[in-house]
Structure 1
Amino acid sequence: MDVPHLPLQNLDNYISLIQNLISFLPYHLRTPCVHSLAMARFQRYMLTRQRHDLDLSILRSTEAIFLPPPWGGAPPNIIQIFFSISLTLFHRARESRRPKDVKHSVMYLRFLHNQPLEIFNVPPDLVTEVFVHALAIQVELDLGQTQDIEEMAVLCLELLDSDISITPSTDSIMALFRAIKAQFVRWDGLREPPKKAIECLREANRRLPDSHQLSIALACVLFNRFNITYSNDDYEEATAILDKVIASCPPGGQFQVIALHMVAFLAQARSVFDGKPVNVEYAIYRIRTLLGGSSVEEPFRPGLIQELARLQAIRFDDSGGIDGIQDANSCNSEYSCRPSFRDLTESLAEPNGVKSLPITTERQHLEALLSTPRFTNVTDIVEAIEYCRVWLTSYPHSGLATLAGITLCLLLLRAFSYTDKMDYLNEAISVLQDHLINPGVGRCRFMVVGLLISSVTIRFNRLYRKEDFNELMELFPVAVNDRRGRTPERFTRSCEWARTARFFGHPSASTAYDCAVSLIQDTLTFAPTLEIQHSRLVAMRHSYETLPLDSASYLVHMGRLPEAIETLERGRALLWSEMRGLRTSIDQIRAVDLHIADKFTAINRNLEMLTLTALPDGNGGEVGSFEEMEPFGRLVVEQQKLLDDRDKIISQLRTLPSFENFLKASPFDSLRSAAARGPVIIINHCIWRPDILILIHDSPSCLIHTPNDFYSRANKLRDRLLDARKKGLDSDEYEVALRVVLEELYELVGRPVIQRLSELNVPEQSRVWWCPTSAFCSLPLHAMGPIPSDDGAPRYFLDLYIPSYTPTLSALIESNKHGSKMLEKPSILLVLQPDASMEQALEEMQVVQSVNTRVTTLISATATPPAVLERLRDHRFAHIVCHGILEPGKPFDASFKLYRDKRLSLLDIVRSRLPDAEFAFLAACHTAELTDKSLADEALHLTAAMQYCGFRSVVGTMWAMADTDGQHLARNFYKSVFSGKKQGVRYYEKTARALRDAVVKLRSQRGRGMTLERWVNFVHYGA
């Protein structure tokens, strides 16, 4: 007996009629009428929403199930009755949220779903749709099983495969999404959304691509999973979906606004998770785009501004605070209001019996938590501390609980710094310890561990508790090995770990040093250009300058000399090493795979061009399409893509035979080849234990122990020399200081080295190389003395041996590689730019032009930077006579002053490639001198740049050069090089001896007012 669809008034009459009819019918004939009455009351409920009708409909449907069949014949359509009661129960469950109603409706609908509904005139799709919604309610109320969501996913796929309209399918899939979200929140985001549910959402998005609602639902679930797994695939898929929604929606539309928020938060989450510069830039771009299109009243705006400030602070730190990189201070102008923590605390303290706050209220609390970093007043800090305490007590499972805990810790530490009350510090440590064991800490674990390390370190330094030290030794490896942490921060933690472990004799010191050294090179990839990389190293110089030396000294202490030498090589001249890796020979690769070789070459060339580019101007480009990302961000994105492509090729090559160690750190057996033509003397200037190491090609390395005051004496010598230089090179003060320095250097270094060389049977007049570190990079080791002699004549180190310098062993190995045509007489490119202060420059020109070889001269108007770089390719020798310029604190601006004050800078030289170059004589001031505040072990000067771009040997100057010395030195130097002696020896290999002999003759010209600084000034680098 079907129920007709009637208007409300007629429906009332129909219900009265059926009720009267039932009262007159015998008991066994009532079933159809009772069922019709139940359905009629359900229809009236749908029109009036009267709960009374819903309850009676359920009662009548239940009654109809148990009535006997009419007239003793066939049973009534029980399936239809079950359908009606299930539908009615579902509506009451959705309204009342009573567990009993929910469970019964799910039970009945599950039964119906497995029946052949079509033969009973019950619509299967409607049953499936209602079943999905009933399961959703069950999940939201936490009444069912974990399999409920997977069952919902299967049902939604059935709906997608059916012939029903789009709307029911979309509604059901959105019910599935709400269930996933409810379960995710209930589990505090600790469990991944079921795979079947994600597959269902993907299929729905594929079949209904124009449904922005479904697209955002899928992106949201992928976002949730990303917060657990940190899978880059989830991030990329979610971002692509959201970008499509943003592009296809009208500006300012509901779905576009939601997508903009989500894609910004997604980018922010990834930047927190791994801290890679490229992800920081993506997050900055996304948040700036969102801020650019939002109103000042936007509830999330203060939080976004704070997050943008945090990200730009990271960028500023990673760049070493270089000029032109925007820092956090530019983001805070809008965000200055202090919330009322007293009112917020009172609202939290009210017992409301709910697990979470309404979204609008939660936004207020989010803004309050984000405002605390600006507080400096103790009263404000104390109020905020109390607020965070109450928050954590009232809502321990809220999504903001982790933020509230971290905020509380930071406030407690700030309160401790202002008041020196240990209670604040102890509470901060307790809060962090509780958070660390909470599975919900997730992607904030690295931050929590770092804060705990800092806090426990403070307490340990105060109380020296053994428990605190043991905890630190457990925490350091956790932080250092957490790949979700930013590499610079992990590197800093590894250095702290190594220092602490070594100081207190903990056995983890060796592991700590290994971790730190392995991370040091990775820190450079956080900066796209050479200039920014250098600024980054300067900013962390406290760790960078000492770590390789400290680690090597520890290995020496353990008797592991080869590993100590490997460590020094890995940790010094990082910028040159990184650049040299981009010029790796591909001859071996070509023999294996020409296509890979060409691709690898192209990537390296593009990376080198990008690395050597200048910092782009401007940081505030217009927001909009991704192409309009600010210039610095685009630079970082481009660099990361090239690095990823390069890493893939390197990984591919390392799977091939004989390529297993391709571009890995050079082992000791390879490094010792640097001493193939003579010993290399390495001075490790370390505060823990300085040592002198002598690398021998075919014998074990040799160790020279140093006195206890070796470290401090070397620093004093460097400082005295640099301070006296301020008085002027021609001053009596500098002459006295240099004389004292040379004498003490001999006692400190020269005497024990000469004695050990003699014991090693290294004959006098042999080639030796100095590979200094730290303070010794500014000291004239080649001229130590005077050395006592039998005839009483003053001798210096260069009288006994032929000294050269090398920034690293790898640089020397590269310089010793033989090229083509090396035995032929080289031509010379003479570059000359005289002025009034260089009266003898023309005489020096005549000296060089008289050399018995082809000489090409660029002078005045022909000596422009492009012309010099172009002609250098045609000559194996170069002789440059001009002013050398240093810019304090800017080593890459060191330059040669050419025509009309045009500069040939260090970067210009580095950009050039001169594979056939052999030797350069830099007759200019400061060419081997470090700029003020530069990093000694990076060897960033013009001489090293010439060596890097291809010149195997280079003569440079440690300070300003006397104009009159150039012609005398050049005359004797070239006479020695082109004398015709030592047939079969490459010309550039004669330059070290030639310089030594020329300097000795220059020194002998006492009648010409020869001073120490004039002949000590000249140094030889390379082969």
Structure 2
Amino acid sequence: MSNETGLAIYTGPPGDDNPPRRKKPNRRVWTHDLDPSKRTVGETSSAEEIETGKSEDQPKEASDRQSKESAPLNPELNSQNPKDLTDSGINYYYRYKRSQNPNDLDDAILLLEKAVTLTPRNEPMDAYKRLTNLGTCLTLRFKSNRNLSDVDNAAKVHQQAASHLPDWHRAKGVCFTNLGAALVARYAFLGEFSDLEKAMSAYETALALPLHDDDKVMCLNNFSNALGYNFERLGRLGDIDKAILLVEQAVKLSENSKNDLSTCLDNLGGQLMRRFSASMTKSDDIDRAIEVQKQALSLLPVGHLSRPQRLTSLGVSYQKRFYWGGEVADIDEAVTMAEDSVALTPKVDPLRPERLHNLGAALHSRFKYLNNIEDIERSISSHEQAISGLPPQHRDRPAFLYNLGNAWFSRFEHLGELEDVDKAVDYHRQSISLGPQDAPIIPKHLIHLANSLQRRFQLRGHLPDIKEAIELAERSLPLTSVNHASRPEHLNTLAMCLVNRFEANRDNQDLERAIILLEEATDLIPKDHTLISLYFSNLGMTYAFRREISEDANDAERAIDAYRIAATSSTGNTSRRFQAAIEWAKLMEPIQKHAAQLIDAHSIVINLIPRVVWFGTTVAKRYKEILSIGNVVSAAVAAAISQGKYDLALEWLEQGRSIVWGQIMQLRTPVDDLRLVAPELTQRLLNTSKGLEERSTSGAEIETESMIRRRAAGKWDSLIEEVRQIPSFEGFMKPRTISDLVKVARSGPVAVINIHSTRCDALIVQEDTSSVKHIALPSLSRQKLVSLWESFRSVLESSGARAIRVSQPEGKNVGTVLSVLWSQVVEPILDNLGYTKLKQSTTQEQTRLPHITWCATGPLAFLPLHAAGIYDKNSQSKAFQYVVSSYTPTLTALLDVNGSKTGSPNTGILAISQPHTPGQSPITSTIEEVEKIKAYADLDPTKWKWFNDKEATTEAVLHAMENYGWVHFASHATQFLGDPRKSAFYLYDGVLSLGEIMAKSFRNGEFAFLSACETAAGDGELPDEAIHLAAGMIMAGYQSVIATLWSVKDADAPLVADVVYSKLLKKDRGSINGQAAFALHEAVACLRKERGEKAFERWVPFVHMGC
């Protein structure tokens, strides 16, 4: 928000005493003054600037003055000639403008004071000019040193200057304008309402007198600012409407002066933003504010003293528009503008605190949307610096304390540290105690203190906190009119305080009143407001509470309706809409008549996931968001299955699995067809996807990098929508439909297993069918699988270095797990498919066995379905007797590899062996392992490459992977659960991480054998995300991968590799497609025969992924 107050300094010849014909002043001083004390988080800070008129507007006297200005300054300090003293004082004033050295301004004031004292009483015209110059310099010094005596004296001398002139004199209006500027400066510092009233009276007097156009511009602009302050003080819309009309007149009159036009446009934007902030309904006001402020900034060259203020004003408007519309680009712009403004403001500048305050507010707003902890840390730091730079009596201090309290509260909400909410309470208390108790902003300060106390009560249960919170919220309501934009917020806060007390003492009256308050809040809030989801969610919650007490079915319906509105709001916060849709679905689940709506609610949940887990953020942040989502996808799938909507269930399950993996793969979507019809758009899409992919896999949280990533994501979304406007491309990059998904079963059925607390089911996709087969698993439960996983976890926990195991899992425990998997998961599925009726024996050719691909969810994703069975003597109840098993992280992964690389040739083998990796235990058998592969390989240098020991550097291996279609890793590897992207292969000079591999796209990638520790063991907290090296290799472009669930015995890997490659490198072999699974099946059979069926730790870890 901008409020620039103009002052005039007279530099013309002393004899210019004929006002009707007086030449207009050829030098002007414009000072900027802002009042942030009434603002909440996100509003602007004050700034100061000085502008001069254009040389082309200056008469000859101006040229003379410039000559004097550039001459050496050697005034006769002891002169008794008031004219010489005045000239010297003005020269010091202009030198101050260039140097910003306060000593120059001090000297100017000393000389001008002496000139005024020596001016004879019979020379009123000379007296008014000297008094005007003295008053202007005193006001400027007050801006720098905040010494009240300066602004007090400035007001006095401007009044004296006016008294020397008759009413017909055109300079008299300038004197009153300068008087108003001094009074407004004092008001902005002390907040004394009488100063503001006197200033407005002075401006009215000035406008009633004859004024030159440029003087009138200054007066209109200043008067507009004063009215803006008055509006903030009293909240009267008439004041802000009049302020806008006055500054619009100033804009019209200043069109021939870039500097004056820039100032007036900036202030026009500020007044429009003030009016928008009051109603939050006139979106054209905020849009227009941004446009005129951008124009104001464009009129000033780089290096201009006014640029920091223009940046501040524009940034605040972007921030307000973000608060209203939720566009990330707006808040990024707001932060950038605020940062640039602070960077251009010297540390000694008295306006730096207000600009730091504004930066803190912008960072806070962005934190509340993106939850980047760095933003709130920087916000708190900026606010603290701003407060430390303010004089103790400054009127802005309450506002700064208030916003610092808000920042600490937000940090508490994010991290849950109690000392943060204590700080929030303390700063809010200080803010209220220091601020004027009759200010319109007091209700907002009260309500934020109430919020902080309420949250502290929720954690500590200290009843005085909630009692005080309710009292504060009650106190705020009478101070907020029915039509005020903040009233819904205050109603909501009081309601939630009452709900908290209700939960503590079960007083139904609190709950009843909370409902009444929330009903009023939801009636008042505009239907396109960003907070609509919050208020209706809270209303739904209170109805649900009352339903529990009264068992009134109508309350259940009311709660359902409130959550529905919250979830379906097009402008509501994404996270709140997401949570509202989840609650909406939970309430409807037991009510049969809401079956159709239940699907609608779950549909919103599924469709919002890409926005909750937005790829405008880093991969690490997206995984964190997925953790917060919980089991919403499996719940939606279970609901769809319960209604017989199997196709929809499979579509939803696919959308909700491996979300980050899918986002990165989406960036690699082939665009050959699009290029034929829109080549230029295709290139823009490819350029954006490349940059976004690089930044998506980067862990960098540097501010500039984060902003670029968000902008790239926004641009990507826009480009996708542009493509979808082209005929035949309406479904471009939309989630896969059932017509696509049923094509995955080219090498056998795919069993997708959904695990939810209410039911467990398998959805089967089979070749040559267009529908999904459903198989219920009634004996299975989520709780049972969690227990099985806990029992089996010892296998993963015991896997240390590849060659040395800390302990071995007990065969009995593993056998029990595998038995349950067989009887309650695998056998029912194979029975239904008719495979167990074939009565195949282990002596039959393995290639005659059918092939099945498993895609499990939840805790089942970590259990070895391929090894399920009852391992008693002569048992015919083992999965490997009936099927060859593979796994896939998603169905889309199979579609991509089947569709893009079927029949692709072997472009050569890259083998990596690490017998003596620095810092790791030796695994000398890796050389033997690769020697066995070499025996089957084509030794043409273009077809075979072996990096052994020191040769296997990270750079060399990553580069070679781009040139060979097959890759074999015989090395240590690690699963990094804290950050899945750091899971890696250990090479001689360091680690080759999953993040580095994901950042590549291996177009020739066909087959990868990861003979290393736990290369297919995912993150226990993210079972549906397939966070392991094997999935990463598929994501990077390899269509078929052999990996291990845990570290394997040193002697076992060569045996398995020998059999696998002997099968895959037959002279008559075709594509790898489908062959690797069979090769591994036979290899593991050999290993089982050598080590024994019950040596589960030896053969179970080997798995195949892909096709």
TM-score, L = length of structure 1: 0.73
Q: Distance in 1 between matches of 2:293 and 2:983?
A: 59
Deviates more, 1:435-444 or 1:946-955: 435-444
Contact 1:260 1:290 in 2 (8 A): yes
Q: CA deviation at 1:227?
A: 6.1
Instruction: Tell me how far 1:568 sits from its aligned partner.
Output: 0.8
The separation in 2 between residues aligned to 1:200 and 1:904, in whole angstroms, is 52
Larger Cα Rg: Structure 1 or Structure 2?
Answer: 1
Secondary structure in 2 matching 1:300: helix
1:437 matched to 2:523? The reply is yes
Q: Map Cα deviations across residues 570-591 of structure 1 (whole Å, 9 max, x no partner).
A: 0001121112122222433444
Cα distance between partner residues in 2 of 1:882 and 1:475: 57
Q: Tell me which residue corresponds to 2:141.
A: none
Change (3 A) 1:740 1:760: closer
Residue 610 of structure 1 and its aligned partner are, at CA, apart by 2.2
Q: Identify the match of residue 585 of structure 2 among 498, 501, 515.
A: 498
SS in 1 for 2:1074: helix
Query: Does the 8 A contact of 2:970 with 2:1011 survive in 1?
Result: yes
Range moving further from structure 2, 855-864 or 586-595: 586-595
Partner of residue 915 from structure 1, selected from 1003, 1015, 1032: 1003
- 1:938 positional shift: 1.0
TM-aligned CA distance change 1:367 to 1:914, over 3 Å: closer
SS of corresponding position for 2:869: coil
Residue 598 of structure 1: how far off its partner (Å): 4.1
Q: Which deviates more, 293-302 or 916-925?
A: 293-302
Corresponding residue to 1:707 among 778, 790, 794: 778
Alignment match, 1:291: 384
- Which secondary structure does the structure 2 equivalent of 1:676 belong to? helix
1:308–1:331 CA contact under 8 A, matched in 2:
no
CA distance in 2, matches of 1:178, 1:910: 47
CA distance in 2 between partners of 1:636 and 1:151 (Å): 41
Cα pair 1:829 1:875 within 8 Å, conserved: no
Provide closer, same or farther for how the CA distance between residues 357 and 188 of structure 1 changes in structure 2, counting only shifts above 3 A: farther
Q: One-letter code of the match for 1:965?
A: D
Q: Say if 2:364 and 2:407, in contact at 8 Å, map to a contact too.
A: no
Inter-partner Cα distance in structure 2 for 1:840 and 1:204: 73
**Closer, same or farther: CA 292–782 of 1 in aligned 2, 3 Å:** same
Structure 2 Cα separation of the partners of residues 897 and 423 of structure 1: 65
- After superposition, the C-alpha distances for 1:398-452 in whole angstroms (9 at most, x for unaligned) are 7765555454344434434444444444433333333222248955444333433
The residue number in structure 2 matching 1:815 is: 897
| Contact 1:443-1:484 within 8 A present in 2 as well | yes
- Map of 2:758 onto structure 1: 688
- How many angstroms apart in 1 are the aligned matches of 2:806 and 2:19? 115
Matches of 1:968 and 1:220 in 2, distance apart?
A: 68
Matched, 1:998 2:1087: no
Write the distance in 1 (CA, Å) between the matches of 2:356 and 2:807. Answer: 67
1: CA distance, partners of 2:730 / 2:435: 64
Distance 1:969 1:498 in 2: 49
Deviations for 1:788-841, whole angstroms, at most 9, x for unmatched residues? 99xx66463222222211111111122224549834584352424268764644
Equivalent position of 1:530 in the other structure: 619
3-state SS, counterpart of residue 437 of structure 1 = helix
- Residue 968, structure 1, aligned to residue 1024, structure 2: no
In structure 1, the gaps of 5 or more residues are: 12-45, 51-56, 58-82, 84-94, 318-326, 349-355, 617-630
Q: Distance in 2 between matches of 1:256 and 1:915?
A: 54
The answer to whether the aligner puts 1:650 opposite 2:720 as a matched pair is yes
SS at match of 2:1001: coil
- Aligned: 1:679 with 2:767: no
User: How far apart are the structure 2 equivalents of 1:3 and 1:968?
Assistant: 107
Specify the alignment match of 1:573 in structure 2: 658
Superposed CA offset, 1:913-958 (max 9, x none): 3221221222223222224x33111111222122222221111222
Instruction: Compare 182-191 and 698-707 and name the one that shifted more.
Output: 182-191
Question: Which amino acid is the alignment partner of residue 520 of structure 2?
Answer: D
Measured against aligned partners, the alpha-carbon deviations of 1:166-213 in whole angstroms (never above 9, x if no partner) come to: 99x999999989987897788687786599999988888888997799
Say whether residues 1:300 and 2:417 are aligned partners: no
Deviation at 1:1022, TM superposition (A): 0.9
Q: Residue in 1 aligned with 2:815?
A: 739
Matched, 1:782 2:866: yes
2:972 maps to 1:883:
yes
Tell me the secondary structure at the aligned position of residue 744 of structure 1.
helix
CA deviations on 1:219-263 (whole Å, 9 max, x unpaired) are 878877776667889879988887786666665656555555456
2:830 aligns with 754
In the TM superposition, 1:553-592 aligns within 5 A as: 553-592=638-677
User: Residues 189 and 647 (structure 1 numbering): CA distance in 2 closer, same or farther, change over 3 Å?
Assistant: closer
Contact 1:246 1:260 survives alignment (8 Å): yes
Moved more, 191-200 or 602-611: 191-200
- Structure 1 counterpart SS, 2:732: coil
1:607-637 CA-partner distances (Å, limit 9, x unpaired): 22222223x5xxxxxxxxxxxxxx5433321
Q: Distance in 2 between matches of 1:407 and 1:642?
A: 37
Q: Which residue of 1 aligns with 2:146?
A: none
Q: Which residue of 2 aligns with 1:669?
A: 739
SS of 1:299's partner is helix
Residue identity matched to 2:626: L
- Partners of 2:123 and 2:578 lie apart in 1 by 80
Unaligned runs of 5+ in 2: 1-17, 21-119, 125-158, 168-172, 174-192, 800-804, 841-847
Deviations 1:29-67 (A, max 9, x none): xxxxxxxxxxxxxxxxx98999xxxxxx9xxxxxxxxxx
- Taking every aligned residue pair, what percent have the same amino acid on both sides? 22
CA shift, 1:904, in A, is 3.1
Matched residue, 2:513: 427
Structure 2 residue 884 is matched with structure 1 residue 802: yes
Q: Which amino acid counterpart does residue 772 of structure 2 have in structure 1?
A: S
Q: What SS does the corresponding residue of 2:388 show, helix, strand or coil? A: coil
Asked whether the 8 Å contact 2:902–2:1071 carries over to 1, the reply is no
Q: C-alpha distance in 2, partners of 1:367/1:651?
A: 40
The CA distance in 1 between the partners of 2:288 and 2:958, in whole Å, is: 63
Equivalence map 1:855-874=2 (5 Å): 855-874=944-963
Find the residue that maps to 1:521 and give its secondary structure: helix
Q: 1:833 to 1:820 in 2, by over 3 A?
A: farther
Tell me the distance in 2 between the aligned counterparts of 1:537 and 1:134: 54
* Per-residue Cα deviation, 1:76-118 (whole angstroms, up to 9, x for no partner): xxxxxxx9xxxxxxxxxxx999x9xx9xx99x999x9xxxx9x
CA 1:186–1:859: 2 relative to 1, 3 Å: closer
Which one-letter code corresponds to 2:536 in the other structure?
V
8 A Cα contact 1:189 1:440, kept in partner: yes
Equivalent residue number for residue 603 of structure 2: 514
Within 5 A, what are the aligned runs for 1:829-840?
A: 829-833=911-915, 838=923, 840=925
Residues of 2 paired with 1:649 and 1:636: CA distance? Answer: 20
Q: CA RMSD in A?
A: 5.3
Query: Compared with structure 1, are the counterparts of its residues 721 and 130 closer, same or farther at alpha carbon in structure 2 (3 Å cutoff)?
Result: closer
1:262-281 to 2 correspondences below 5 Å:
262=358, 264-265=360-361, 268=364, 275-276=369-370
- Secondary structure of 1:966's partner? helix
Q: CA deviation at 1:334?
A: 6.1
Amino acid of the residue matched to residue 992 of structure 2? L
**Structure 1 residue 596, shift from structure 2 partner:** 4.1
Count matched residues.
890
Alignment-derived partner of residue 905 in structure 1: 993
Q: CA deviation at 1:345?
A: 15
TM-score, normalisation: structure 2: 0.68
- Residue 1040 of structure 2 is aligned to residue 953 of structure 1: yes
What is the aligned counterpart of 2:1066 among 979, 982, 993? Answer: 979
Q: Does 1:635 align with 2:705?
A: yes
The corresponding residue for 2:802 is none
1:644-686 CA-to-partner distances (Å, cap 9, x unmatched) read: 2222322232223333222111111112221122211111122
